[in-house]
Amino acid sequence: MIPKDHPRYESLMMREKLVKGCRMGITVLQGLIAHGRGEMFDYVLGERSHDFALRAEKVAVALMLLSKRPVISVNGNTAVLVPKEISELSRLLNAPLEVNVFHFSKERVDKIRSYLKRFGAEVLANCDAELKGLSHARRIVDRRGIYVADTVLVPLEDGDRCEILKRHGKRVIAIDLNPLSRTAMKADVTIVDNIVRAVPNMVEFAKELKDSSREELKEIVNSYDNRETLRMALKAIRVNLTKIAESL
Amino acid sequence: MIPKDHPRYESLMMREKLVKGCRMGITVLQGLIAHGRGEMFDYVLGERSHDFALRAEKVAVALMLLSKRPVISVNGNTAVLVPKEISELSRLLNAPLEVNVFHFSKERVDKIRSYLKRFGAEVLANCDAELKGLSHARRIVDRRGIYVADTVLVPLEDGDRCEILKRHGKRVIAIDLNPLSRTAMKADVTIVDNIVRAVPNMVEFAKELKDSSREELKEIVNSYDNRETLRMALKAIRVNLTKIAESL
Report pLDDT for B137: 80
Residue A66 lies inside a defined structural domain of this protein = yes
User: Does the residue B82 lie in any domain?
Assistant: yes
What pLDDT does residue A1 have? 61
Does residue B6 belong to the interface with chain A, where contact is any CB pair within 8 Å?
A: yes
**What is the block-wise mean pLDDT of chain A (248 residues), using blocks of 10 residues?**
75 88 92 89 93 98 98 95 98 96 91 96 91 84 92 85 90 95 93 97 98 98 96 93 79
Q: What is the pLDDT of residue B6?
A: 82
- pLDDT tens, B213-230? 999 999 999 999 999 999
Choose the closest CB to B238 out of A39, A40, A241.
A241
Q: Is residue B18 part of a domain?
A: no
Q: Which domain holds residue A158?
A: 51-237
**Residue A40 lies inside a defined structural domain of this protein:** no
In a domain, A18, yes or no: no
Whether residue A141 contacts residue A129, with contact meaning beta carbons closer than 8 Å, is answered with: yes
Is residue A119 a contact partner of residue A237, using CB atoms and an 8 Å limit?
no
What is the Cα gyration radius of chain A?
A: 17
pLDDT tens for each residue of B56-65: 999 999 999 9
Find, in chain B, the residue whose alpha carbon is nearest to that of A138.
B2
How do strand B70-74 and strand B97-99 relate by DSSP bridges? parallel
**Percentage of residues in chain B having pLDDT higher than 70:** 99
Does residue B4 sit at the A interface (CB-CB below 8 Å)? no
Query: B5 CB near a chain A CB, below 8 Å?
Result: yes
Q: Is residue B35 part of a domain?
A: no
Residue B114 lies in a domain: yes
Q: Is residue A34 part of a domain?
A: no
Give the residue on B whose Cα is nearest the Cα of A41: B40
* Pick from A36, A230, A234: CB nearest B33: A36
The CATH number of residue A127's host domain is: 3.40.50.12640
Q: Do A32 and B33 touch (CB under 8 A)?
A: yes
Other C-beta atoms lying within 10 Å of the C-beta of residue A198: 25
**Structural domains of chain B, count:** 1
